[in-house]
Amino acid sequence: MQWLGAGRYLGPRRSLLESLLMKLLVLAGDGIGPEITAASVQVLKAASDRFRLDLEFEHEAIGHAGIERHGHALHDRVLARARDADGVVMGPHDANRYPAEHKTYPNPSSIIRKELDLFANLRPARTRPGVPAHVESMDLVIARENTEGFMADRNMYRGHAEFMPTRNLAQSIRNISYEGCARITRAACKLAMQRRRKVTLLHKAHVFKLSDGLFLKAARDVLADYPKIETEEVIVDAMMALVVRRPESFDVVVATNLYGDLISDLTAELSGGLGIGASLNSSLERAIAQAAHGSAPDIAGRNVANPTAMILSCAMLLVWLAARHQRPDFRQAGECIEAAIDAQLKEGRTRDLGGTLDTDAFGEMVARRVARG
């Protein structure tokens, strides 16, 4: 695994003791969030002990708990702590069920991605032994641009990019910038160089000649610096069929925001379902581990949710920290967690994957595997 990192900014000044600790902020969130983040923290603690990572955990309230404690689903104070942390573990939110005055738009997740400029949303999809999948073999990463595109709640400096000029006409504005496309492609290329060295660009430039045309221009310019990478350009609607027909042929797939949002749900489902869909939102300076799925209110509080996606997202965060701080021990820890998940999935799973294990039992077993190596 390799996730982009290694920027030059090293965060706020700290004491020597503090600088030895790696501070992770845990935001449990709504629905199944508290259950899956608790399981993930247990696994991270096991990794920290085994690899002597000196992880320090802080907790803050967001979502319903944030409204109760701070009067806001994502209070500025929480945002400031997220900015100062070395990394963030964030559970899902259920903004639809917030009290009317707190039905924020943008929701907590959109706010944090925008405020921290987390431009890269990396969503791996890999078939895993023991996990029923719709395809035989898949091991790819969607590199989704995370700050612009069609996402009307976060693609403007101020205001909102959807509006209704008349009662029966709604319009949305899509933002595509050269630099936005270039930086996500750079992140994808760094990742591809650590993998199978293939990058696929998703576009619909024959229709969106200017916007997807600019995406292709920026991406091609970046790819020119990576002659060892094989490049493929695929029309986004054709991709929906191709990823089913020949999933094994894709390595790193670069997409603007909405295309990436759609295709990554498809690849997660094809490879085994939402319960295993990990995701990392990152810039060069900051990263947030956040499972690709939502808050699953239908199963919340019953100890049946699958924590795999959240745990794998945390493993991605450790690998990102390894690159950022030149700490190979963090990479080892991240890879150890992924191996422990694979070993555990072969032997026992949660109910969504046809098993019988509860959330906490699954987390406990993965933590034990990490501890003993």
Residues in the interface with ligand ATP (CB under 6 A) total: 15
**Contacting ligand ATP within 37-96 (CB under 6 A):** 92, 94
Per CB under 6 A, does 305 bind ligand ATP?
Answer: yes
DSSP string, 46-75: HHHHHHT--EEEEEE--HHHHHHHHSSTT-
Of the candidate residues 266, 299, 343, 361, the single one contacting ligand ATP (CB under 6 A): 299
Q: Are 133 and 154 in contact (CB under 8 A)?
A: no
Per CB under 6 A, does 363 bind ligand ATP?
Answer: no
Classify residue 88 as left (phi > 0), alpha (psi -120 to 50) or beta. Answer: beta
Q: Which is nearer to ligand ATP, 5 or 91 (CB)?
A: 91
- The stretch near ligand ATP (CB under 6 A) out of 7-15, 150-158, 299-307, 340-348 is 299-307
Cα 54 to Cα 33, 47, 78, 197, 286: the distances in Å are 24, 10, 22, 34, 18
Alpha-carbon gap, residue 15 to 43, rounded angstroms? 27
Cα 95 to Cα 106, 258, 290: the distances in Å are 9, 20, 16
Nearest residue to ligand ATP, by Cβ distance, number only = 294
Q: Which is nearer to ligand ATP, 48 or 295 (CB)?
A: 295
Per CB under 6 A, does 309 bind ligand ATP?
Answer: yes
Of the candidate residues 66, 272, 275, 355, the single one contacting ligand ATP (CB under 6 A): 275
Using CB under 6 A as the criterion, what x/- string covers residues 27-46 for binding ligand ATP? Answer: -----x--------------
**Contacting ligand ATP within 193-232 (CB under 6 A):** none
275 CB-near residues (< 8 Å, 6+ apart): 293, 305, 306, 308, 309, 350, 352, 353
DSSP assigned state of 295: -
Per CB under 6 A, does 274 bind ligand ATP?
Answer: yes
Per CB under 6 A, does 149 bind ligand ATP?
Answer: no
Of the candidate residues 48, 107, 295, 313, the single one contacting ligand ATP (CB under 6 A): 295
Alpha-carbon gap, residue 188 to 119, rounded angstroms? 12
User: Where do contacts with ligand ATP occur on this chain (CB under 6 A)?
Assistant: 32, 92, 94, 274-275, 293-296, 298-299, 305-306, 309, 352
